[in-house]
Amino acid sequence: MKVLIIGSGGREHALAWKLSQSDVEQIVCVPGNGGTAALKRCENVPLAVDDFQGIGQCVQERQISLVVVGPELPLSLGISDYLRSQGIPVFGPTQAGAQIEASKSWAKELMQSAGVPTAAAQTFTDANAAKAYIRAQGVPVVVKADGLAAGKGVTVATTLAQAEAAVDAAFGGTFGLAGEKVLVEEYLTGQEVSVLVLTDGVSVQLLLPAQDHKRIGEGDTGANTGGMGAYAPVPLVTPALMDQIQREIIEPVVMALQQRGIDYRGVLYAGLMLTPKGGPKVIEFNCRFGDPETQVILPLLETPLEDLLLACAEQRLAQAPPIRWKTGVAACVVTAAQGYPGAYTKGQAISGIEQAEGLGVAVFQAGTKFRDQQLVTDGGRVLGVTAWGENFAQAIAEAYAAVEQIHYEGKYYRRDIGYRVRAGSATC
């Protein structure tokens, strides 16, 4: 089996890393990164993720048996439709299915029609109407640009001035077309968890629940980021709660997608708030694997990943046996560039990855590239250092010990990843 992975982040490195441990004959990453280039049987092909023709040609030339799409952008542009129309098995939803992430108003309507618990929201195409509604609702309130905004389109506003500024920013073009519509949403409290599901559009198999640390600062403070670290599984999410999430959220949404004639084969990622009184509510859906959630889920997967992905792509997930997991837990600490998620520097030389890996962890590369044979920083989130073991205390300590081995100018990381589970007692 030959697999082509689209994308260049830590998530794609983790997917390629997992596949490289199995019987997969060849892995092609488009465009991949310095980490994927170093994996066994793995090759990078420098094409853009939205170069459909180039990717289609690469798939034909190399006789690829499965394409796995990592990021939301090519999905939202219809890469799965394009490749599938050429008879290529693809893990990743169609353009219509990707709307679940690419349009928050579309996703909200889908959830409401399916009776799925989610924050109450109103959609606006006019700034004055949105502001009048916000004044009537009061704060805190959440303002969201409708479309893909690279994780920057959401403002949790605690003052009216912040909420109104967020409305102005969206309608003022800060997020381009993504801000032509704005959702004003009820503010939910509780703990956030990520429940990722593999689906072939009919059947579902839930992956281990993960918790991401979205804020830049320790104690979950400061600006939102793509994710500064994660751990899995989440002790708070008991098997009974997973069943409830499957019955009340996942299955109704998969059914609603089917009813709209949408062929959804890939990951359905539910970002949930575990509200103290109302149970789990959906904050957002993503149409892809989470980053850095994937970096903590895959090390614990026992079932060969390629079997699951191909079963989804070929719509035979119902015949696949239940997913098997290794015992134990995993934690990932993301190291970022100084200044992230604001403006940050690039091009700092990175050293110490081999020493870190020598401690038995996986160092997943995200914002990196080679310049004159030297690995340098090339993005906001630079590396994801993942360790796994019997308990959280051990896995987290190992991840941090490995982070200490890695050096580059301006290395920033949170020192409290997994603080809710660190002591080993399930206090979250």
Task: Kindly list the residues in this chain that would bind ligand GLY in the complex (CB under 6 A).
Answer: 212, 226-227, 286, 290-291, 293
Residue bearing tokens 């290395």: 411
Candidates 74-82, 87-95, 129-137, 186-194; binding stretch for ligand AMP (CB under 6 A): 186-194
C-beta of 89 vs 367, nearer to ligand GLY? 367
Q: Give the residue among 333, 349, 351, 344 at the shortest CA–CA distance from 416.
A: 333
C-beta of 194 vs 295, nearer to ligand AMP? 194
Candidates 45-53, 167-175, 180-188, 406-414; binding stretch for ligand AMP (CB under 6 A): 180-188
Residues of span 114-153 touching ligand AMP by CB under 6 A:
119, 142
Query: In this structure, what token pair is assigned to residue 308?
Result: 């699951």
The three-class DSSP label of residue 340 is coil
The three-class DSSP label of residue 31 is strand
Partner that binds at residue 227, options ligand GLY, ligand AMP, none, CB closer than 5 to 8 Å by kind: ligand GLY
Partner that binds at residue 224, options ligand GLY, ligand AMP, none, CB closer than 5 to 8 Å by kind: ligand AMP
Query: In this structure, what token pair is assigned to residue 406?
Result: 């890695």
Candidates 182-190, 318-326, 347-355, 413-421; binding stretch for ligand AMP (CB under 6 A): 182-190
CB under 8 Å to 381, separation ≥6 — which residues? 9, 10, 225, 226, 227, 228, 334, 335, 336, 340, 366, 367
Residues of span 252-271 touching ligand AMP by CB under 6 A:
271
Helices and strands per DSSP (H, E), number in the chain: 15, 22
Amino acid at 291: D
**Count of residues near ligand AMP by CB under 6 A:** 14
Q: What radius of gyration, in Å, describes the C-alpha atoms of the chain? A: 21
Measured between alpha carbons, how far is 89 from 67 in angstroms, rounded to an integer?
6
Partner that binds at residue 293, options ligand GLY, ligand AMP, none, CB closer than 5 to 8 Å by kind: ligand GLY
Measured between alpha carbons, how far is 38 from 426 in angstroms, rounded to an integer?
37
Measured between alpha carbons, how far is 211 from 138 in angstroms, rounded to an integer?
29
Rounded to 5 degrees, what are φ and ψ at 71?
-85, 165
The distance of closest approach from Cβ of residue 293 to ligand AMP in the complex, given in angstroms and rounded to an integer, is 12
Write each residue from 224 to 243 as x if it is in contact with ligand AMP (CB under 6 A), else as -, in one continuous string.
x-------------------
Positions in the binding site for ligand AMP (CB under 6 A): 119, 142, 154, 156, 185-188, 192, 214, 224, 271, 283-284
